[in-house]
């Protein structure tokens, strides 16, 4: 399983949404209901599942599903 799929699985688990329903333009807060405690859980789960470290600065830039994926796969 690649990093993108793992990340989508984590977002789905934390948000309670189906992986198939996740689209890059969906906002983590407005569309997926990820509040502050869930956002922290999302970051911790992403770091653990993907064996990466996400800085506070990078985390602050993640507003959509697409932002999360772009962080993992920079152009």
35 is catalytic: yes
Cα 47 to Cα 13, 34, 43, 71, distances in angstroms: 14, 17, 6, 12
Say how many C-beta atoms besides its own lie within 10 A of residue 1's C-beta. Answer: 8
User: Alpha-carbon distance 54 to 38, whole Å?
Assistant: 15
Task: Tell me the two tokens of residue 60.
Answer: 């602050």
Say which of 18, 35, 51, 58 is annotated catalytic. 35
- Positions marked active-site: 35
């Amino acid at each position: 399983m690649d990093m993108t799929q793992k990340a989508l699985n984590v977002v789905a688990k934390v948000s309670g949404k189906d992986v198939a329903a996740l689209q890059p333009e969906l906002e983590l807060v407005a569309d997926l209901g990820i509040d502050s405690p869930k956002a922290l859980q999302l970051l911790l789960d992403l770091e653990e599942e993907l064996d990466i470290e996400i800085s506070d600065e990078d985390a602050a830039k993640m507003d959509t599903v697409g932002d999360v994926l772009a962080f993992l796969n920079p152009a």
